[in-house]
Amino acid sequence: MLGRQYQVASTRLHHSRHSLKDTSEVGPEDEEAYPLPRLSPLQKLTTDLCKDDKTIKDLVVGRRVGFYKVRGEIGFGTFSRVKLAFHALTKDKVALKILDRTRLDSHAQRLLSREISSMECLRHPNVVCLYEVVETPSRLFLVLEYAGGGDLHNRICTETKLSDVTCKITFAQILSAVKYMHNHNIIHRDLKAENVLLTSTGCVKVADFGFSTQISERSDALDTFCGSPQYAAPELFREECYLGPPVDVWAMGVVLFFMVTGTMPFRADTIGKLRRCVIECAYTVPPWVPGPCQRLIKGILKAAPDERYALDQMMGCNWLLPVEFPWSLVHPEPSSAQQSLLHLERGSMEEEVEEEVRATLEELGFSAEHLPDSQTKHSRSPVTGVYRILLHRAQKRRGCDCPPVVRGMVSDPKREGLSAYRGIKHTSKLCVLS
């Protein structure tokens, strides 16, 4: 069925670009005068998907999914497996999250729908990108950005704890991702070290939006217990309605504590004991943790949600003052002359990236009729998959996936400034945040 879908698009392209002469009228003597046109990569691939015996067999046994060549397993979950795959046209690596539709009850289907919906709304350097969704009668495949550097939990377990500089760089990126989500009214609700992926260059990718939810206002109350108990905020254990943003903030505090100490702040043999520790906020920060970091942890891990640091306060804390991001965090609407220049530069870069992507698509064999703007916004399309992969590749070449750096040292004053964005320096390199 997938092959037939792609063949229709490819045949339309073939006729629109190579209508030299009706081949039924061409005899052997005319072959030199009317040579058959060379197939584009897209045409060759779609022909193989429909006619090549080996390709068809790979589709049947699961070694291929649409335009993707499937390789070994790299992870698994309750309802899913994750495999490494390659796009047959672009050759880019992707992570293929495979779900057995026959095993998904109505609750699991709702979670999956939320996951896809949330990821469709998010385009940020520190959030895993959803390229495409492929459906078959028995399975559903989420084609995701491949991080390649493992997850934060495994790294901490391997290294015991992370250095102060590494913690700053990693946490700043998590903070940037969560602020972006909350600005789009999306609450993750399952932030934990296992869901923080790393690239080979040290860039953070927040993943797994299965428990995420979209709210209309910051004051919207939620009532579903989500996530891992070790990262759950006190209000979740009290089984009361809660606000989404403070729950994500609490989980970030637990992640930060885990990074700088190599241990969890709340540990117990049973869920009941863990519940009591969390509700009572019974934890101790080791004295060797730097003072500014201690104050940040204590500002986040507070029992009362309204007393926890807000994201802007966290961004302005002394511990993160030396962090310099390779992209801009300014509001998309310019409010000053400097921001107007940044806004214009970002627009220029967007046009440059779009032109590069369209040129590459044309080389692969995609025509203008394959690429209406509406089609490249819907994940259940093979054209969208190619478009988003090439778009992400172009953005990465312009520094979009570069981790922040730490410049110099800061003093350890007794009181931290808490103004929004005060200490975060920005360079002129901008990332396309659509």
Residues 253-277: pLDDT tens digits? Answer: 999 999 999 999 999 999 999 999 9
In contact, 184 and 216? CB cutoff 8 Å: no
Residue 131 banded pLDDT, cuts 50, 70, 90: very high
Same domain, yes or no: 215 and 235: yes
Q: What's residue 109's pLDDT?
A: 87
Asked if residue 311 is part of any domain, the answer here is yes
Same domain, yes or no: 159 and 47: no
Residues 54-100: pLDDT tens digits? Answer: 999 999 998 999 999 999 998 887 778 999 999 999 999 999 999 99
Residue 209 tokens, joined: 């939006």
Q: Which residue has the tokens 């990236």?
A: 353
Domain at 125, CATH number = 3.30.200.20
Report CA 86 to chain centroid distance, whole Å: 18
Residue 353 banded pLDDT, cuts 50, 70, 90: confident
Same domain, yes or no: 189 and 255: yes
Determine the residue type at 245. P
Same domain, yes or no: 356 and 415: yes
Average pLDDT, integer, range 365-387 = 77
Separation between Cα atoms, residue 393 and residue 92, nearest integer Å: 9
Give the structural domain span for 304. 151-325
Same domain, yes or no: 42 and 140: yes
Asked if residue 382 is part of any domain, the answer here is yes
Same domain, yes or no: 122 and 160: no
Q: What's residue 140's pLDDT?
A: 93
Residues 292-313: pLDDT tens digits? Answer: 999 999 999 999 999 999 999 9
Same domain, yes or no: 358 and 319: no
Q: What's residue 1's pLDDT?
A: 47
- 344 versus 125: which is more confidently predicted? 125
* Of 111, 145, 179, the domain-final residue: 145
Same domain, yes or no: 189 and 65: no
Q: What's residue 30's pLDDT?
A: 54
Same domain, yes or no: 320 and 407: no
Output the known binding site for ATP.
97
Residue 7 pLDDT > 80: no
Alpha helices in 192-336 (DSSP H): 234-237, 244-261, 271-279, 291-300, 311-315
Same domain, yes or no: 7 and 121: yes
Asked if residue 374 is part of any domain, the answer here is yes
Residue 108 banded pLDDT, cuts 50, 70, 90: confident
Asked if residue 73 is part of any domain, the answer here is yes
Q: What's residue 128's pLDDT?
A: 96
Separation between Cα atoms, residue 41 and residue 204, nearest integer Å: 33
What's the whole-number average pLDDT of the chain?
82
Residues 404-433: pLDDT tens digits? Answer: 888 865 554 444 443 333 343 333 333 333
Q: How far apart are the first and last CA of the chain?
A: 32
Average pLDDT, integer, range 276-287 = 95
Sign of the Cα torsion 307, 310, 316, 317 reads positive
* Of 282, 303, 325, the domain-final residue: 325
Average pLDDT, integer, range 219-248 = 90
Asked if residue 403 is part of any domain, the answer here is yes
Asked if residue 107 is part of any domain, the answer here is yes
Sign of the Cα torsion 178, 184, 185, 188 reads negative
Separation between Cα atoms, residue 382 and residue 51, nearest integer Å: 19
From the candidates 190, 208, 248, 401, which is the catalytic residue? 190
Domain at 293, CATH number = 1.10.510.10
* Of 270, 300, 325, the domain-final residue: 325
Q: Is 92 known to be catalytic?
A: no
- 304 versus 8: which is more confidently predicted? 304
Number of domains present in the structure of the chain: 3
Asked if residue 31 is part of any domain, the answer here is no
